[in-house]
A and B are shown apart, each in its own frame.
Chain A
Amino acid sequence: MALLRRTLVNLSYCLTQTVYNTPVKVPNRAIKRWVAPTLRELERRRKKMESQPLQPRTSYLEWNYDAEIYAFAKRLGETFDDALLRRAFVHRTYVIQQEIKGNETDLQDNRELINEGESFVIDCIKKHFQNKYLPDVVNALQSYLTSESMLSHVASHMGVKDLILSADFPVEKSTLSNTFKAVVAALRQSTDEKRATAFINDFLICQLNGKDIFDVWDLSNPYEYLLRVLKEKGYSEVEPRLCNQSAANTVLANYQVGLYSNKKLLGIGWGESIEIAKDTAALDAIQKLQSIDKI
C-alpha cells in the first residue's frame, strides 16, 4: 500500500512538473535516415526528366566577356587591337539575330576579316612549302590544313568556342573555322605580317607533326606519277626489278620490288602481288626524291 501511495505521489509530481515547466525537447542526434532516400528520389526524378538542352557558357552567372577576351589574347601570347579582336568573334548570323529581336547594335560583323584571313592562311601555307615540295604535294598539304575539320579543331583548342557570338548553338564547325580565319586577320592587322605568319606556323602547320606525306596526299597511280616526275627531272629509264619473293601461290604471298635507274636504287617496296609492290616502291621513290620522309 505504501508503495502504491509513493508511486501516486511521484506520478502527481510528474504531472505538475509537465504542466508548469514545459519539458525541453532534446534534438535527435542520430543518423538522419531521411537523407539517402530523399537524394535517391531526387536522382530518380532527374533521370526521368528529359535531357535538358545545353546551356551556353555565356548564360552562367560567373561570366565576364571582357576578362575572357583579355585571357584569350594572353593565352595565344599575342597583342591584339581590342576592337579588332572583338570584331573577329561577331558573326553575321548574330547581327541578324539581334536585328530581328529589335536590339539596336552597332556591332560590325567579321565577314571581311574572314575573307582576308582565308586568303592569307592559304598564301602563308603555300609560301612555307613551295620551295621544298612538288606543287601537287603543296596543294594537298594546303587543302588538308585549310579543311573545315582541321581549322575548327585548331580553333576549338584555342578556346574560341565560348567567345563566339553567332546564332548557332552549339557552335558549328564552319563557324569555328571561320573564326580562326578572322582571328588571323585581326592579328595581322593589329601587328604585322611576320607575327601572323609565326602564328600560323605555331598553331596550324605544327598539326603536321608526326604525319606521313601519304596520310595527307592521296595518290591514286603512284608508278605512273613517278615516271612523269622522273621524266621532268631528266632521269633515264626506270627499271623495276623483283628483288625477293616468297610464298608464291599462297595466301601469304609477298614480293619485294626495287626501282632502279642507271644502276641506282630509287625506291623499294613490298606487296602481296608484284603490281602492288611496284606501287609501294614508287611511293618510296617519290618520298626519297623529295626527301619528304617526314614533313
Chain B
Amino acid sequence: MTTNKSLFLIPKFITTPSQNGVGRYVCQLQRVVLKFCKNHGSSRGIREFIEYDLLNFANKNPEVVVYLKPRRHRGPVIKAEYLNGDDQIVFCHNNTREEIAKWLNLLRTQSGNHDGTRLRKLWHTDYPSIQGPWTPYTFRDPALNLAEFPNEELSRPLDQPKTATEELDELFKKQQESEVAESSEVK
C-alpha cells in the first residue's frame, strides 16, 4: 500500500518549549557547527563569514557554542543543535556571507527544528472562550424559575402566526383605547 503522507507537511501548533520567556528568556540554540572546505569555491561565502563576522556573532551570543570544522573538498554545512534535542542541518553551497548570516540568525531565533512542518494556526491562546462553554442554563430566562407547569403560554410553539380573529381583536382594542384617550383630552 502506498500513501501520499510524505507529500504533506506535518501540521503543528505554536508552542513554547518549557514556558520559555515566562520567567526569563533562554536562547534555544545551544551550539552550532560550521563545516566548510578551506579551498573549495563553494565554501567561499562561509569562509568570508568566518573571517569577518564570526567573532561579532560569538561576542553577541555567548550562550551559543560555535565550532568550526574544516573538511577537505566537501560542501559547506551549518549544523544547529537545540535545547530540546533537535538537530538541524543547513546546506549552504555557494551561499554568500550575508546569506550565512541570515541562516545563523534564523537558527538563533528558532525554538527548534521546524523543517517539514506547517503551523495550523498563527496564534495561540490559553483562553479560547472568555465566557466559558455553553450549558443549557446560560442565558436562561429567570422567569422560568417561577413558572408552573403545565403552562399554556409556554406550551405554545414560538413561531405560531396570529390568527385573523386575534388581529381583528387587537385592532378593535387599539381603536377603543384611542377613543378613550381622545375623550379624556376633550374633557
Asked if B137 and A75 make an inter-chain contact with CB atoms under 8 angstroms apart, the answer reads no
Q: How large is the interface on A (under 10, 10 to 19, 20 to 34, 35 or more residues)?
A: 20 to 34
What residues of chain B lie closer than 8 Å to A207, measured between beta carbons? 18-19
Asked if A68 and B65 make an inter-chain contact with CB atoms under 8 angstroms apart, the answer reads yes
Asked if A153 and B18 make an inter-chain contact with CB atoms under 8 angstroms apart, the answer reads yes
Asked if A202 and B62 make an inter-chain contact with CB atoms under 8 angstroms apart, the answer reads no
Q: For residues 28 through 82 of chain B, which have their beta carbon under 8 Å from a beta carbon of chain A?
A: 30-31, 33, 62-65, 67, 69
**Out of A70, A77, A159, A254, which one reaches B136, CB within 8 Å?**
A254
Instruction: Give Cα A291–Cα B100 distance, bound, in whole angstroms.
Output: 52
Asked if A74 and B137 make an inter-chain contact with CB atoms under 8 angstroms apart, the answer reads no
Asked if A209 and B22 make an inter-chain contact with CB atoms under 8 angstroms apart, the answer reads yes
Instruction: Give Cα A94–Cα B24 distance, bound, in whole angstroms.
Output: 32
Asked if A74 and B136 make an inter-chain contact with CB atoms under 8 angstroms apart, the answer reads no
Q: Is B109 an interface residue (CB 8 A)?
A: no
Q: Is B135 an interface residue (CB 8 A)?
A: yes
Q: Is A232 an interface residue (CB 8 A)?
A: no
What residues of chain B lie closer than 8 Å to A63, measured between beta carbons? 67
What residues of chain A lie closer than 8 Å to B62, measured between beta carbons? 70-71, 74
Asked if B22 and A75 make an inter-chain contact with CB atoms under 8 angstroms apart, the answer reads no
CB A169 to nearest CB in B, in angstroms, measures: 14
Asked if B30 and A206 make an inter-chain contact with CB atoms under 8 angstroms apart, the answer reads no
Q: Is A110 an interface residue (CB 8 A)?
A: no
Asked if B63 and A75 make an inter-chain contact with CB atoms under 8 angstroms apart, the answer reads yes
Instruction: Give Cα A203–Cα B83 distance, bound, in whole angstroms.
Output: 14
Asked if B19 and A75 make an inter-chain contact with CB atoms under 8 angstroms apart, the answer reads no
Q: Is A157 an interface residue (CB 8 A)?
A: yes
What residues of chain A lie closer than 8 Å to B162, measured between beta carbons? none
Asked if B17 and A157 make an inter-chain contact with CB atoms under 8 angstroms apart, the answer reads yes
Instruction: Give Cα A63–Cα B33 distance, bound, in whole angstroms.
Output: 10
Q: Is A31 an interface residue (CB 8 A)?
A: no
Q: Which residue of chain A has its CB nearest to the CB of B69?
A: A62
Instruction: Give Cα A175–Cα B141 distance, bound, in whole angstroms.
Output: 59
What residues of chain A lie closer than 8 Å to B152, measured between beta carbons? none
Q: Is B23 an interface residue (CB 8 A)?
A: yes
What residues of chain B lie closer than 8 Å to A70, measured between beta carbons? 62
Q: For residues 137 through 159 of chain A, which have their beta carbon under 8 Å from a beta carbon of chain B?
A: 153-154, 156-159
What residues of chain B lie closer than 8 Å to A161, measured between beta carbons? 85
Asked if A203 and B23 make an inter-chain contact with CB atoms under 8 angstroms apart, the answer reads yes
Asked if A244 and B24 make an inter-chain contact with CB atoms under 8 angstroms apart, the answer reads no
CB A221 to nearest CB in B, in angstroms, measures: 25
Q: For residues 47 through 101 of chain A, which have their beta carbon under 8 Å from a beta carbon of chain B?
A: 61-64, 67-68, 70-71, 74-77
Greatest chain B CB density within 10 A among A62, A154, A202, A209 is at: A62
Q: For residues 121 through 143 of chain B, which have their beta carbon under 8 Å from a beta carbon of chain A?
A: 126, 135-137, 140
Instruction: Give Cα A225–Cα B162 distance, bound, in whole angstroms.
Output: 56
CB A164 to nearest CB in B, in angstroms, measures: 14
Asked if A158 and B19 make an inter-chain contact with CB atoms under 8 angstroms apart, the answer reads no
Q: Is B26 an interface residue (CB 8 A)?
A: yes
Instruction: Give Cα A203–Cα B20 distance, bound, in whole angstroms.
Output: 9
Q: Is B84 an interface residue (CB 8 A)?
A: yes
Given contact pairs A70-B62, A157-B17, A157-B84, A62 touches B22 in the complex (Cβ within 8 A): no
**Out of A61, A153, A202, which one reaches B24, CB within 8 Å?**
A202
What residues of chain A lie closer than 8 Å to B63, measured between beta carbons? 71, 74-75
Instruction: Give Cα A63–Cα B67 distance, bound, in whole angstroms.
Output: 8
**Out of B26, B69, B136, which one reaches A75, CB within 8 Å?**
B26
The 27 listed contacts between A and B (C-beta, < 8 Å) are A62-B67, A64-B65, A64-B67, A68-B31, A70-B62, A71-B63, A71-B64, A75-B26, A75-B63, A76-B26, A153-B18, A156-B85, A157-B18, A157-B26, A157-B83, A157-B84, A158-B26, A159-B30, A159-B83, A201-B23, A203-B24, A206-B23, A209-B22, A210-B126, A243-B137, A244-B136, A246-B137
The residues of B with any CB-CB pair to A shorter than 8 Å are 17-20, 22-24, 26-27, 30-31, 33, 62-65, 67, 69, 83-85, 126, 135-137, 140
If A209-B22, A210-B126, A254-B135 are given as contacts, then 17 extra A-B residue pairs at C-beta distance below 8 Å, sorted by A number, are A62-B67, A64-B67, A68-B65, A70-B62, A71-B30, A74-B63, A75-B30, A157-B26, A157-B83, A157-B84, A158-B83, A161-B85, A206-B22, A206-B23, A207-B19, A254-B136, A270-B135
The residues of A with any CB-CB pair to B shorter than 8 Å are 61-64, 67-68, 70-71, 74-77, 153-154, 156-159, 161, 201-203, 205-207, 209-210, 243-244, 246, 254, 256, 270
**Interchain residue pairs A-B with the least CB separation, the first 5:** A202-B23, A157-B18, A62-B67, A206-B23, A75-B63
